[in-house]
Structure 1
Amino acid sequence: MTTSASDKQKSTEPVTKTENSETVTKYSRLPETKNSPVRRNNRRPQKSFQGSNVSGPIFQYFMTGDDAQVATTPTKKRPSLGSLSDVGSSFDGELPEQSPRKMTICEAIDEKFSPVNYSACSFTSIGLSPVKHDKDGTVRVPWTLVLEDRNIAFAGDSDTLCKYCGNVRDLDLSHNDLQSWSEIVKILKEMPHLEQLNLGQNKRLSLSYDFSTLVQSQYTNGEQSKAEKPLSNDSPSTESCPGSEVNDPQTEHDVQKKPPVSLPLTLPSAEGLRGHRDDFVHTSLKTLVLINTGAPMDTIAQMLPRLPSLEELHLSLNGYKQIENSVMKIVEPHSRVKTLYFTDNHFSDWRDFAKLGHIFPKTKNLYLACNQLPCIDISFEGVFTSLESLHLGGNKLDSWDCLDRLNELQSLKSLRIHDIPFYANYDPDPTIRRSLCIARLKNVSHLNGSAVSPDNRIDAERFLIRHYLDHHPKPQRYFELVDKYGQLEKLGEVDLSPIEQICLQLHCSEMEICKEIQVKPSITVLQLKTCVSEIIGIGLKDFNLFYKDAMMEEAFGPVGCFSELKLMSIQLSTAGLCDQSELHARTISRHHNAQRQPSR
């Protein structure tokens, strides 16, 4: 029986029927071909888990390639994403089929933890998704959530965001396109347990944000806050997140009935903010990363009182040139920040360093590498009284006196000063430079990452005294160390390098020869005797070679001070010959040789 091509095609198409208002897809057996594997079982492919209407589709399985040709449950494709001219699109050398559209956090979670991105039909389920879906409709995502480079522009609906990420502790939103600080406020409001937040590379956060308008919105009749101005027409509505169509009529009725109240618009303190239910104060956040965002200092100054538990702040690569006086008028000292990163900015005045000490008085670790700070021209008295670690590498420190200024930081224990100008203009020996740095920094226990032991400090301080004996003017640290160790003299120079050549005095009374010869102390006695044989013109077996031993001369006088060189294989240095030693060659008489010959 023959089958046409159209019949073969119909045999592989899915057959769909409706059972209890649910769509079920059945598959017929695939024909066996040379290029396609044969499915040996008739198991129906498993359906992906469907979430509730409030939280959107949360899929239970990851998908991966396998030899079974199983089609996944048909999913709704995304609409057209527009052209490359849309905001947020990128071009990496190849023209993409569709430019990425702006997303919310909930949409990014659905995309990451669901198999909608897999268009091939040869997939099988291999494991459970880390996203959990409770019976009450609450979605549980992992405590550590990484959504890096997902083209996220908006926080999304508040209720949906709270259901998805209410228990998140560590959130990475770097390399996204968050539109404004109002989105950050919404994220922090709906994630009360958040401890670490990474917002690096979100360039739109360079726009200033006035937090006082956030407080104003608490006393108005429900109008939109002026601080949350939409930047484009892509701002999401309540329909942007799956299942976000939740309206509370009672709430809307209460808002309409609430009368407007005219109050002065002043920025309250953190204690005052805690008294209002909807005011932005986040008491759990400990680490905030704003690297390469260009976040304005006035916005950060307004945000600090609302983050009372903040301990680590990253503000590197933001192009800061100075801290304006207007910022110092509105900022409140934050005593909980312990680690502060300000690397790769453009600070060129040490007065900004003092301003940082006023804003963050209890900082223990400060990173100011790769700025443009020159020679220290201010006093550090009363600044950064708790500072223990300081990184100044890559700045323009051009004088050794800068190290004396750093001694005013009484609690400083660790210092890094790589790639600074006064290193390049000094002795290239790193040991000398390190010793001088240790001696000048009286409180430092770690220099450039290496520990400074008590013995290292004593040697370095004594070295500084001897080093500046012939140098003028002398630093103040020199006189302090002289009072500690006394006036030291220079050490004697001892040359321990190996001797390349020695000079020997050769004497031969029979041949009336007295001559100086230059030899290497590493040659053997046999080589020396060969050289002497060529000089006196006598064969090796016709003379004996003696050297004058100074120690033997003291013990036995000039007659018994000669020792014969009998071992031909040892070196001259081992035999006891040194520079200016005397050699004596004595010929062997023929009569003596005849007596030594055995009788026949």
Structure 2
Amino acid sequence: MIHHVWKLLLLFENQTVHSLQDMAGYSLVDAVQTKFSDDGVDQFSHIYVPKRANGPSGCLPVPELLALDNCNVVCAGEPKDLDQLCKHVKELDLTANGLTDWKEIFTLLGCIPDLRFLNLTGNCLRDQTLIDGILSVEFPNLRTLILNNTKVSWDAIYKLLKVFPSLIELHLSLNGYISVESSSSQDFQHPALLKLHFNRNRIRQFSELNRLGQIFPCLESFVNIDSDLDTMCSELQVYERFSKLRCLNISNTKLETWEDIDCLRKFPSLTEARVKDIPFLQQIEEKTRRQLIIARLPNIYRLNGSPVREEERIDAERAFIRKYMDLDDKPQRYFELHAVYGQLDPLVNLNFKKESKIKLMVRLMTEGLEHSESVVIDTKWKVKDLKKQLESFCGVPSSKIRLYLKEHFSPHLLEMIYPTKELRTYRMTEEDEIHVYLK
């Protein structure tokens, strides 16, 4: 009995300690040990598990791709423990934790030298000042940095770019930016960056984004979806700053005119565009919408994820000419295409629907006697329906009738033996005949 009471008291004491830990948060070391301990403890219970040997290396089996999202991590932990546990980690996801101090982030970076990917989404890094002493080091292996919904300042971003000279992909979505602030060094550039995600920010004019092209001169992919962007129009030099940009995604923005779409021609290297869910475009039928965009953008070879084939482009450009040729207000692109294709005739509204009814000669073949009559047949009928229609002509029930198709180009008869086969499948013409024999 005393033994059981002691165990209950110990459990209560541990739960109290753990509750206090929950309030304060955990170190990255604690989170790793909790998640990968082999003691069978639930990773979501937040119980501290002392480090123990797992094999000859003396380390927990931490994978190269380490996900510790929503683990209440607030600090790095003891550097020597972190180095032993995570030195082989290459990708680290710390989404939705409690990190607020850049010193802790640089501590873990220093202990994970091979880290290539770091996701800090949802950690509030709004008001932290980067310490100059920390910034004297570089982390050349980091390739991807995700700072979505961190409220990180532009001043901090410029300092971070110096620390990560090899960064090729940067995510700055959901940070509420209404402008792109200048760097203290006006000529600052980060030529390594190739991909930038800038979704759900509040910048309205593309001209305000021109500093991004100046800072990232080699940028190839720019994603700016679900944003307040309502105009693409700007001076030519703005587009020229994005001289290497090949792919632009401005889906679900607030663009209002075709002139905004026409501006995509001004990017020197742009070949791929995504312009889905833009309100004024959504009012146009899908096929027509795609044709109009293709016709306006001769530089785009991939639209909304689908390649633009040469045949599709020709069809789109000719349809564009026909759409505007009778209108007084013609876009400039109309005159460019008119110079290529010349004056086109309006499309004739042809009805290619084939008439289902056909008139055939039906011949009743009996001994020593042939009776023939011209009969209108519906090719939608089945063979059994035709037999039923010919009962009065033959004077016998349909069950006593055998039908043969005599095609005009063949001396042979083709027996129509399948009752449920549709007559249209025989591809009859008015020069053919139906020969009827009685069983």
| TM-score category, normalised to shorter length | 0.7 to 0.9
In 1, the alpha carbon distance for the partners of 2:326 and 2:210 equals: 37
1:113 pairs with 2:49: no
1:362 pairs with 2:218: yes
Q: 1:435 — aligned with what?
A: 291
Describe the shift of the 1:491–1:178 C-alpha distance in structure 2 as closer, same or farther (beyond 3 A).
same
Of residues 309-318 and 521-530 in structure 1, the stretch that sits farther from structure 2 once superposed is 521-530
Asked whether the equivalents of residues 142 and 164 of structure 2 are also in contact (C-alpha less than 8 Å), the reply is yes
Deviations 1:379-430 (A, max 9, x none): 344121111111111001121222221001121121111110221333x2x2
SS at match of 2:66: strand
1:576 pairs with 2:433: no
Q: How does 1:268-347 map to 2 (within 5 A)?
A: 279-325=136-182, 327=183, 332-347=188-203
SS at match of 2:150: coil
Count of residues paired in the alignment: 372
Asked whether the equivalents of residues 145 and 172 of structure 1 are also in contact (C-alpha less than 8 Å), the reply is yes
SS at match of 2:114: coil
Q: 2:109 — aligned with what?
A: 188
2:315 aligned to 459, 466, 469, which one?
459
1:414 pairs with 2:272: yes
Q: 1:403 — aligned with what?
A: 261
CA shift for structure 1 position 378: 0.5
In 2, the alpha carbon distance for the partners of 1:499 and 1:159 equals: 85
Describe the shift of the 1:117–1:291 C-alpha distance in structure 2 as closer, same or farther (beyond 3 A).
farther
Q: 1:545 — aligned with what?
A: none
Q: 1:125 — aligned with what?
A: none
Describe the shift of the 1:416–1:527 C-alpha distance in structure 2 as closer, same or farther (beyond 3 A).
same
Q: 1:102 — aligned with what?
A: 25
CA shift for structure 1 position 153: 0.5
TM-score, normalised via structure 2 length: 0.73
CA shift for structure 1 position 336: 0.7
1:447 pairs with 2:368: no
Describe the shift of the 1:130–1:337 C-alpha distance in structure 2 as closer, same or farther (beyond 3 A).
farther
Describe the shift of the 1:526–1:150 C-alpha distance in structure 2 as closer, same or farther (beyond 3 A).
closer
1:208 aligned to 111, 127, 136, which one?
127
Deviations 1:359-378 (A, max 9, x none): 22211111101101113221
CA shift for structure 1 position 446: 0.9
Describe the shift of the 1:339–1:102 C-alpha distance in structure 2 as closer, same or farther (beyond 3 A).
same
* Counterpart code for 1:162: D
* Counterpart code for 1:103: Y
Asked whether the equivalents of residues 435 and 464 of structure 1 are also in contact (C-alpha less than 8 Å), the reply is yes
In 1, the alpha carbon distance for the partners of 2:248 and 2:85 equals: 40
1:486 pairs with 2:342: yes
1:378 aligned to 234, 252, 256, which one?
234
In 1, the alpha carbon distance for the partners of 2:239 and 2:41 equals: 62
Describe the shift of the 1:194–1:99 C-alpha distance in structure 2 as closer, same or farther (beyond 3 A).
closer
SS at match of 1:171: strand
Runs (5+) with no aligned partner, structure 1: 1-5, 14-73, 87-97, 120-128, 218-272, 274-278, 504-517, 534-538, 542-566, 578-600
Asked whether the equivalents of residues 199 and 226 of structure 2 are also in contact (C-alpha less than 8 Å), the reply is yes
Asked whether the equivalents of residues 302 and 331 of structure 1 are also in contact (C-alpha less than 8 Å), the reply is no
* Counterpart code for 2:34: E
Q: 2:250 — aligned with what?
A: 392
Asked whether the equivalents of residues 313 and 341 of structure 1 are also in contact (C-alpha less than 8 Å), the reply is yes
2:16 aligned to 66, 80, 91, which one?
80
Asked whether the equivalents of residues 53 and 60 of structure 2 are also in contact (C-alpha less than 8 Å), the reply is no
- Higher share in helix: 2
In 2, the alpha carbon distance for the partners of 1:132 and 1:321 equals: 53
Asked whether the equivalents of residues 143 and 168 of structure 1 are also in contact (C-alpha less than 8 Å), the reply is yes
Higher radius of gyration, 1 or 2: 1
Q: 1:425 — aligned with what?
A: 283
Asked whether the equivalents of residues 292 and 315 of structure 1 are also in contact (C-alpha less than 8 Å), the reply is yes
CA shift for structure 1 position 188: 1.7
Asked whether the equivalents of residues 36 and 61 of structure 2 are also in contact (C-alpha less than 8 Å), the reply is no
In 2, the alpha carbon distance for the partners of 1:368 and 1:130 equals: 47
Asked whether the equivalents of residues 423 and 433 of structure 1 are also in contact (C-alpha less than 8 Å), the reply is yes
SS at match of 1:407: helix
Asked whether the equivalents of residues 308 and 336 of structure 1 are also in contact (C-alpha less than 8 Å), the reply is yes
Describe the shift of the 1:502–1:302 C-alpha distance in structure 2 as closer, same or farther (beyond 3 A).
same
Describe the shift of the 1:525–1:130 C-alpha distance in structure 2 as closer, same or farther (beyond 3 A).
farther
In 2, the alpha carbon distance for the partners of 1:381 and 1:341 equals: 18
Asked whether the equivalents of residues 301 and 330 of structure 1 are also in contact (C-alpha less than 8 Å), the reply is no
Asked whether the equivalents of residues 81 and 101 of structure 1 are also in contact (C-alpha less than 8 Å), the reply is no
Deviations 1:151-206 (A, max 9, x none): 1101123333233323322112222111312211222222222111111221x21x
* Counterpart code for 1:397: L
Describe the shift of the 1:149–1:454 C-alpha distance in structure 2 as closer, same or farther (beyond 3 A).
same
Deviations 1:4-23 (A, max 9, x none): xx8xx99xx9xxxxxxxxxx
Q: 1:244 — aligned with what?
A: none
In 2, the alpha carbon distance for the partners of 1:117 and 1:292 equals: 34
CA shift for structure 1 position 338: 0.9
* Counterpart code for 1:432: T
Asked whether the equivalents of residues 233 and 259 of structure 2 are also in contact (C-alpha less than 8 Å), the reply is no
Deviations 1:69-93 (A, max 9, x none): xxxxx99x8573476xx7xxxxxxx
Q: 1:42 — aligned with what?
A: none
SS at match of 2:248: strand
Q: 1:166 — aligned with what?
A: 87
In 1, the alpha carbon distance for the partners of 2:73 and 2:55 equals: 22
1:155 pairs with 2:89: no
Describe the shift of the 1:522–1:283 C-alpha distance in structure 2 as closer, same or farther (beyond 3 A).
closer
CA shift for structure 1 position 283: 0.8
Instruction: Report the RMSD for the aligned CA atoms in angstroms.
Output: 3.8
Asked whether the equivalents of residues 200 and 228 of structure 2 are also in contact (C-alpha less than 8 Å), the reply is no
Deviations 1:231-258 (A, max 9, x none): xxxxxxxxxxxxxxxxxxxxxxxxxxxx
Q: Among the aligned pairs, what percent are the same residue?
A: 32
